[in-house]
Copies of this chain bind each other. A is one copy, B any other.
Amino acid sequence: MAGETIGFCGLGQMGRPMAANLVAAGFSVRAWNRTRGKAPEGAQECDTPREAARGARIVVSMLADDTAVQSVTLGEGGIVGGLREGGTHVGMSTISPALSQRLHEAHKAARQHFVAAPVFGRPDAAAARKLRIVPGGDEQAVAQCKPLFDALGEGIFPMGTAPQASLAKLCGNFMIASLIESFGEGFALAEKAGIDPMRLSETLSRILFADAPLPKGYANRIAATSFEPAGFALALGLKDISLALRAAEDLRVPLPLASLIRDNLIAALAKARDKWDWGGLASTVREAAGLPARR
């Protein structure tokens, strides 16, 4: 598959290193970004998403939110208009299941495929080809993406249809946010009791989580009240939790913990902490307990 042409739309913090990895893996990459000059060396910069999709069997999108994905796909100069029949749009952004379903239908109407393939991992994981990918969509279309996914990450976890994959990603992010809320509350309590939060964090990371990196990383950052720079910004966190709540409303599933997290994220944003890491939702808990947002 090396040498194959791949379109790539969205060259932000995540997309740019991903596109670079595709180049490095030998793909011929046609790249588009809203602002020019972001294409990695070896990729060919294009003027529109449609242009990037042209001639490719697969076009990837990696964008900020539903609005961007919708416009890049269905808007003027969008992917749908450039992708060949039988081609596949691999949407790797975290989007709503509802949009995932709409994209599936739009591509189907154009005799194309839509595969939702959201990823777990921050920009450093993207650069290191360590993303975890959760693809959903037509089985054959997903199968054909394997070389692509292998060039981007280290684990493929198929999860049903496109909207199901989008929802699975939201579930995962909700669980991370739950960890943050839980650590925030537990460590605030411990701190007011005079316990060293770092010691508690190390202890519980070991006992409860066998030192797994993700919970340990959050636990230690929250215990240290180290909320900047952001790995994943608070404002993005609110976006994802709100998407989960909206999907849950559609499916008639109450999510009281997600609601609680949403309120605490909003409280942190009310203090203009948009750029803090979403671990900083613990600042809301701290302040409610009479502690400073950070030590």
- Could you list which residues of chain A lie within 8 angstroms of chain B, going by C-beta atoms? 97, 120, 132, 134, 155, 157, 159-161, 163-164, 167-168, 171-172, 174-176, 178-179, 181-183, 185-190, 192-196, 199-200, 203-204, 206-215, 238, 242, 244, 247-249, 251-260, 262-264, 266-267, 269-272, 284-285, 287-290
Contact = CB atoms under 8 A, between A and B. Distances in A.
Contact of A164 (B120, B168, B171, B195): B195
Max chain B Cβ within 10 angstroms of own Cβ: one of A160, A194, A203, A247: A203
A208 B200 contact: no
Contacts of A285: 254
A257 B260 contact: yes
Contacts of A257: 178, 181-182, 185, 257, 260
Given A192-B253, A253-B289, A259-B262, 11 more contacts: A97-B193, A164-B190, A167-B195, A168-B195, A193-B251, A209-B209, A215-B215, A238-B249, A254-B288, A260-B260, A270-B290
A167 B190 CA distance: 7
What copy number does this chain have within its complex?
A: 4
B271 A290 contact: yes
A213 B249 CA distance: 32
Contacts of A207: 120, 132, 134, 155, 157, 172
A242 B251 contact: no
A172 B186 CA distance: 8
A285 B267 CA distance: 9
B189 A185 contact: no
Contact of A266 (B181, B183, B249): B249
A213 B271 CA distance: 36
Contacts of A97: 193
Contact of A203 (B159, B182, B206, B262): B159
A208 B172 contact: yes
A210 B120 CA distance: 13
A255 B185 contact: yes
A263 B186 CA distance: 14
Contacts of A157: 203, 206-207
B270 A259 contact: no
A189 B253 contact: yes
Contacts of A160: 194-196
Contacts of A267: 254, 288-290
Contacts of A188: 253
A260 B213 CA distance: 27
Centre residue among A168, A172, A186, A199 by max chain B CB count within 10 A: A186
Contacts of A238: 249
B193 A167 contact: yes
A55 B154 CA distance: 60
Given A159-B199, A160-B195, A253-B289, A189 B210 contact: no
